[in-house]
A and B are shown apart, each in its own frame.
Chain A
């Protein structure tokens, strides 16, 4: 396998001595992914702060006398204009539609009198109507805040006035300390979150890496006539195939690691600490070995899938067209795991290539990958990859494929 070693060395040298290629393949995508998610995170955070600090413009019609006192008591901030029932609300509703006004609150006429004259079931109950624009963030927030803080507090105060002791209404509590009732394996809970996201990301990144590199390393060389010079050397065609696959595997793994780390770091920033607990995940040595083996086999499969297309394609453009359905297939297999309930799956599912890679990674992250499932997954992926490699070797021996003869 001296030929293989030489080809691997040459392929790696070709990539790593080309500064532009290194920047385009490894640095730029990683940086761009991180920057993109960071910008998104900072924009979202800015937007939230902006909504929080915005002082809403509110119109209140027929406001009861003591409403002012409640607004002060709950520290609700807003540019409030009080209007009477004689005033038209049409221009206010127009203002809400345009986004100039955030909220209109209308109390029924004689609101407080109706409440105070309530004696028994069937007596009239007054209404408070709120008008807002759900497509406007400020309006939406104003409605939510006013209802939750002012109206709720006002309702409680009027109930207390009516009943004398509001605690009479409370017959039992549900979870006064909600945190105390949570029984969870922290590691599994954190893994659960990641297990939804990472199998998809890892698979897609691996395939993308193989796709970008494989086209040039095989179809590109065929097009340029440089592959033929290798075919003239006194080494077995299988040595050339393995040389190509191993070098592509190394480069794909490297780009996948960079992309995945960038995405995870980026999303961490985006989620503003929501994934902070991820670092608490503890892998056992067996799980680490399982993860390593799975990634190696997945890289082998994706590199061979891209390579078989690259070998048969006459031009890089043609290869790009042929590889797209495979890319969609990989995406489909992985998306299915994102939306599954995560229950225990039958063993047969672990024999379905691509899909099995995603579900096995998902199980691994929540600590539920058994050795049998791991074995079936790795075995099935390796068999398919090996079969494709055999086909690639056959194609390398075909003068029709290699020389369009």
Chain B
């Protein structure tokens, strides 16, 4: 008898909600980026949980690819942060509004 699947799904939903709060309420672009990572991880958790409970490897393979995409996203995202900071001397997303109409 293992921990039931709904426990994992509930935890995953809670972590996702915390990530959403972080993205919407924080103004530091790096903290926003870390909140996005948290949301990615919470979805990974539910994928692994389903994979183990259904006995299907597809979920874990998907998490593997999600990790690779997250690594690529981290590299490009942080490079954008660095070049933004070089141009505007700020990481506050209220002041980074050059793409706004």
Physical interaction between A and B: no
Interface residues of A (CB under 8 A from B): none
